[in-house]
């Protein structure tokens, strides 16, 4: 069943350190996305490893009704680090759970039932979050879902969004930068317009920061770069350096009216310890600042390449390179010929989501690799 969720790659990974993964045969690969943005502090950051080992020696699990110091610390830390006005924290095990909770909280805290989501969006694989996900290939095998309660609008079209949000709307859910949909940052003014129309209709504004959060875009949260604060913010992936955790952060008015919700492993001690160490490293080492600096350098170098590239877009170390041939072929050649691992975002976008400890020399390596892989090849002579 190993290929049930993911197609298995022909590279067996044995260990990792910083921005590098090492295969069982000793080959080293530069990780530019193979870990789905889950390793902001790099692979096996020593402080994170120490925190996990110390907690494992004391307590692996106790159900959430009993206070545990690592969980208590994490609640306080996330409340402090969240954008202003968001202080309530619900912990879970993944991004899709965080978004599922966000949709439930929004519906129980408002008088609405409709959810407005964006075309190209990806919010998860539960019945609720999958309903708010755009691409048919993810949804079709499981239909019917909750389509009657979802209205999709064109991402970036302010007029269409404003027209869709009405008194029946419980929530608008948006990614500040669409990830799976092809690395599309929100156009200027779009998130501000979302904030205005949701406030006017007492609708909850949800920002899905599962992929954009924890410093990836050059700010701790991508929404901070736009100057817009939502009512609910969801995060996961990098929050615990790859251990399974998600979080739903809410304003008071949402938290106070949210209906009953729970999760057996919510904020378990071991993963909470990893998350505390991860957030400390992200802040103390200014990894958002490094993401902004190295990400800006990388985008400039990619944009300057004289090879067939349609577009380079993104923020910080969340970058999409739209190529003129299939992204999967490019990714195959990067891995086999240059030992660089990356991800697709649709058929034609190479998605770069490296650890935030990345250095310029790593960026240069990837630029050189892409230049070679994308360079027009001379026709073979007969």
Distances (CA, A) of 314 to 55, 96, 325: 37, 23, 20
Helix (H) or strand (E) segment spanning residue 289:
helix 287-303
Residue 208 assigned to a binding site: yes
Q: To 10 degrees, what angle do helices 287-303 and 360-374 make?
A: 30
Q: From the CB of residue 19, how many other CB atoms can be counted at a distance below 10 Å?
A: 20
Which residues, in sequence order, are CB contacts of 52 under 8 Å at separation 6+? 243, 270, 273, 274, 277
Burial 290-329 (b: 16+ CB within 10 A, else e): bbbbbbebbbebbeebeeebeebbbbbbbbbbbbeeebee
235 is in an annotated binding site: no
203 in a labelled binding site: no
Closest CA to 217 of 185, 172, 249, 240: 185
Phi, psi of 362 (to 5 degrees): -65, -40
- 122 annotated binding-site participant: yes
Contacts of 32 (CB under 8 A, 6+ apart): 340, 341, 342, 352, 353, 354, 366
Rg value, the chain, Cα: 21
Q: Is 149 annotated as a binding residue?
A: no
The answer to whether 319 is annotated as binding is: no
CA distance 121 to 116: 11
Q: Is 96 annotated as a binding residue?
A: yes
3-state secondary structure of 9: coil
- Among 32, 37, 17, 10, residue whose Cα is nearest residue 370: 32
- How far is Cα 69 from Cα 80, in angstroms, rounded to an integer? 16
Nearest to 174 by CA among 259, 93, 78, 99: 99
158 and 169 Cβ atoms separated by less than 8 Å: no
Look at residue 185 and give its three-state secondary structure: strand
- The dihedral region occupied by 79, where left means phi > 0, alpha psi between -120 and 50, and beta the remainder, is alpha
The answer to whether 264 is a known ligand-binding residue is yes
Binding residues: 95-96, 122, 125, 208-211, 263-264
Binding residues for pyridoxal 5'-phosphate: 95-96, 122, 208-211, 264
Binding residues for substrate: 125, 263
């Amino acid at each position: 069943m190993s290929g049930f969720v993911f197609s298995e790659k022909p590279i067996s990974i044995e260990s990792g350190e910083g921005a590098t993964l090492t295969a069982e045969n000793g080959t080293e690969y530069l990780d530019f996305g193979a870990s789905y943005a889950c390793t902001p502090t790099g692979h096996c950051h020593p402080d994170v490893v120490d925190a996990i080992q110390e907690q494992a020696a004391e307590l692996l699990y106790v159900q959430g009704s009993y206070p545990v110091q690592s969980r208590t610390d994490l609640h306080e830390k996330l409340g402090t680090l969240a954008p202003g006005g968001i202080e309530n924290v619900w912990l879970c095990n993944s991004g899709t759970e965080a978004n599922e909770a966000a949709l439930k909280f929004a519906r129980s805290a408002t008088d609405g039932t409709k959810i407005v989501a964006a075309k190209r969006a990806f919010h998860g694989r539960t019945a609720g979050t999958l309903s708010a996900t755009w691409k048919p290939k993810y949804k079709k095998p499981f239909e019917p879902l909750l389509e009657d309660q979802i209205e999709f609008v064109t991402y970036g079209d302010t007029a269409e969004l404003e027209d869709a949000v009405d008194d029946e709307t419980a929530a608008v859910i948006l990614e500040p930068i669409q990830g799976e949909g092809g690395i599309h940052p929100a156009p200027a003014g779009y998130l501000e317009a979302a904030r205005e129309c949701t406030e006017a209709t007492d609708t909850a504004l949800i920002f899905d920061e599962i992929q954009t959060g924890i410093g990836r875009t050059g700010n701790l949260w991508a929404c901070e770069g736009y100057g817009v604060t939502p009512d609910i913010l969801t995060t996961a992936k990098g929050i615990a350096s790859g251990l399974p955790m998600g979080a739903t952060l809410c304003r008071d008015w949402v938290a106070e009216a949210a209906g009953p919700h729970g999760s057996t492993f919510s904020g378990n001690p071991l993963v909470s310890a990893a998350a505390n160490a991860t957030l400390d490293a992200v802040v103390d080492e200014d990894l958002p600042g490094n993401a902004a600096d190295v990400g800006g350098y990388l985008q400039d170098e990619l944009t300057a390449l004289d090879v067939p590239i349609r577009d380079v877009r993104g923020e910080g170390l969340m970058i999409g390179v739209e190529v003129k041939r299939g992204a999967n072929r490019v990714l195959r050649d990067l891995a086999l010929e240059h030992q660089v691992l990356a991800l697709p975002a649709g058929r034609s976008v190479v998605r770069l989501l490296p650890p935030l400890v990345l250095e310029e020399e790593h960026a240069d390596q990837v630029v050189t690799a892409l230049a070679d892989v994308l360079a027009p090849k001379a026709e073979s002579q007969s």
